[in-house]
Amino acid sequence: MIKTFDNFPLKEKNSFRMDVSCARYIEYDKADDLKEIDFNTLPQPVLCIGGGSNLLFTADFPGTVLHSKIKFVKYVDVGLDEIPIAVGAGVTFDELVKETCGHGLWGLENLSLIPGDVGGAAVQNIGAYGVEIKDVVSGVVCYDIQEKKKVTFKKDECAYAYRSSRFKEAPDKGRYIITSVLFRLSRKARPQCGYQGLCDALGGIEPTSPQQIREEVIKMRQAKLPDPAVIGSAGSFFKNPVLTMDQFLHVAGVAEKEHGEHFPVPHYDAGLGMLKVPAAWLIEQCGLKGKRIGQAAVYEKQALVIVNDSGSASPEDILNAMEVVTNSVREKFSVSLTPEVEIIQ
Ligand SMILES: Cc1cc2nc3c(=O)[nH]c(=O)nc-3n(C[C@H](O)[C@H](O)[C@H](O)COP(=O)(O)OP(=O)(O)OC[C@H]3O[C@@H](n4cnc5c(N)ncnc54)[C@H](O)[C@@H]3O)c2cc1C
C-alpha cells in the first residue's frame, strides 16, 4: 500500500532531529508499489530514506522523500550450514541482528545497535568492530527507476568499499531503490574478534554464541556513542582520512613537537603504501572533544560525533560545527576531513 503526504515534517524521520519538511513524503510496503509511482510527475529531486541516521538535511527539502516499509525476513534452505536470508529494506537493521543472533546465526553480531534500516545499511556498507555488512551480503534487490523494472545485483556488482557502494555514488545514485537485501549467515561458529577493543572486552575468551558478541558490542557502543532516542546525531560525522606516507610523517611531526618524541599516532595499513588515521584522534588533538559550538557540540565521549545535544540545533549550527572541526584539523595537521554523513542541500 502507498501512502502519500504533502508538506510533511521530517523532524522524527532524521536522527539529527533537524526541524525541516519535504514537499511530498511517500511510504510503501511492497516492492510492486514502486511500479505504480510515476516518478516523472513527483516533486524533484527524489530521495530515498531509511531511518535517516546518516543524513543532514540543511533546509526544507523541495522534492519527494520515499520511505520503504517493506518488512519481511525470509529464511531459505534452513538445512544448510550457510543460511541464505532475504530481508525487506524497511526492516530495522538492529531488529534483524537481534533476531539472527537469537537464532544462533553468525555474521551480523559485530554490527549490533547500528541505527537505520536494512536498505540504508546496504547502501552505506555499514561497519563496526572489524566487520562490514558486505562480508555477509550476497545480493541486493532493487527497483530500477529508469528501466521501471526489478534488478538483482550480486555482491560483486555492488562496488562495495569503505562506507560506500554503487547505490551511493554517481552514476547510479538515485537510480536504484533497494527493496530487499540477501544475506548468507552461518550456523557454524565464525567469531570475528580481531578488533582489539572487542577482544579485550571478551577477556581473550573465544565466544561460543553470536549473542555473546552482541552483548559486548552493545555495552561498548552504549558507553561511548549517543543513544539516538535521546541525543540527535548521525553517528560518525567524518570518514577516517587515508594519508600518504608524507602526510602521515607531517602529522607525526606536529604531534612530536607538541608532546615530545615517541608520542604515538594511531594508524592502520590502508594498502598501497597509504595509512588510515582515526579522525577522532585528530579532532581530539585539536582540543575539540566535548566542545560546545553554538547549539551543537563535539560529543564528549567520542570526538567523531557531532551532536544536537541541545535538541534545538539548526542545520546551520551543525554545518558550523562541521566547519570548526574541519578548519581546526586542516590548520593543525594539514589533513582534510570529509563527511561520512550525507549532506542534503
Ligand atoms: C548513534 C549512531 C551510531 C552509528 N554507528 C554507525 C556505525 O557503527 N557504523 C556505520 O557504518 N554507521 C553508523 N551510523 C550511521 C548510520 O546508522 C548508518 O549509515 C545506517 O546504515 C544508515 O541507515 P538509514 O536507514 O538510516 O539510512 P539513511 O540515513 O536514511 O540513508 C542513507 C543513504 O542510503 C540511501 N537509502 C536509504 N534507503 C534506501 C533504499 N531503500 N534504496 C536506495 N537508497 C536508500 C539514502 O538515500 C542515503 O543516501 C551511526 C549513526 C548513528 C546515529
- Our mutation pick for probing the ligand 1 site, out of 13, 53, 113, 129, counting the most ligand atoms within 8 A of Cβ, is 53
| Interval between CA 3 and ligand 1 midpoint (Å) | 23
**Which CATH architecture group holds 232-344?**
Alpha-Beta Complex (3.90)
Q: Which atom of ligand 1 is nearest to the CA of 15?
A: 53
CA separation for the pair 155, 136 (Å, rounded): 9
- Collapsing DSSP to helix, strand or coil, 290 comes out as coil
The helix or strand, by DSSP H or E, that contains position 221, with its residue range, turns out to be helix 210-224
Nearest Cα to Cα of residue 130 among 2, 245, 216: 216
Alpha carbons within 13 A on the beta-carbon side of 314: 5
β-bridge mates for residue 131, sequence order: 128
Q: Assess whether pLDDT exceeds 80 at residue 272.
A: yes
* 263: confidence class by pLDDT, cuts 50, 70, 90: confident
| Interval between CA 322 and ligand 1 midpoint (Å) | 19
Q: Assess whether pLDDT exceeds 90 at residue 197.
A: no
Average pLDDT, the chain: 96
Q: What is the pLDDT of residue 200?
A: 87
Q: What is the CATH number of domain 73-224?
A: 3.30.465.10
* 196: confidence class by pLDDT, cuts 50, 70, 90: confident
User: What is the per-residue burial (b if ≥16 Cβ within 10 Å, else e) of 66-78?
Assistant: bbbbbeebeeeee
Domain boundaries, the chain: 2-68, 73-224, 232-344
DSSP states along 308-341: ETTS---HHHHHHHHHHHHHHHHHHH-----BSS
Q: What is the pTM of this model?
A: 0.95
CA separation for the pair 317, 297 (Å, rounded): 9
Q: Is the CB of 303 under 6 A from ligand 1?
A: no
Q: Assess whether pLDDT exceeds 80 at residue 78.
A: no
Of residues 82, 163, 221, 342, which has the active-site annotation? 163
Specify the residue with its C-alpha closest to ligand 1, atom 14. Answer: 235
What amino acid occupies position 270? A
Q: What is the pLDDT of residue 261?
A: 82
Sort residue 112 into left (φ over 0), alpha (ψ -120 to 50) or beta: beta
Nearest Cα to Cα of residue 25 among 58, 1, 47: 47
DSSP states along 89-135: TTSBHHHHHHHHHHTT-BSSGGGTT--SBHHHHHHHT-EETTEEGGG
Of residues 112, 165, 236, 328, which has the active-site annotation? 236
- Which residues contact residue 105 at a Cβ distance below 8 angstroms, ignoring those fewer than 6 apart? 83, 185, 186, 187, 210
Establish whether 82 is a catalytic residue. Answer: no
Establish whether 147 is a catalytic residue. Answer: no
Q: What is the CATH number of domain 2-68?
A: 3.30.43.10
Q: Assess whether pLDDT exceeds 90 at residue 195.
A: no
Establish whether 68 is a catalytic residue. Answer: no
Residues in the chain: 345
CA separation for the pair 48, 294 (Å, rounded): 30
CA separation for the pair 135, 155 (Å, rounded): 9
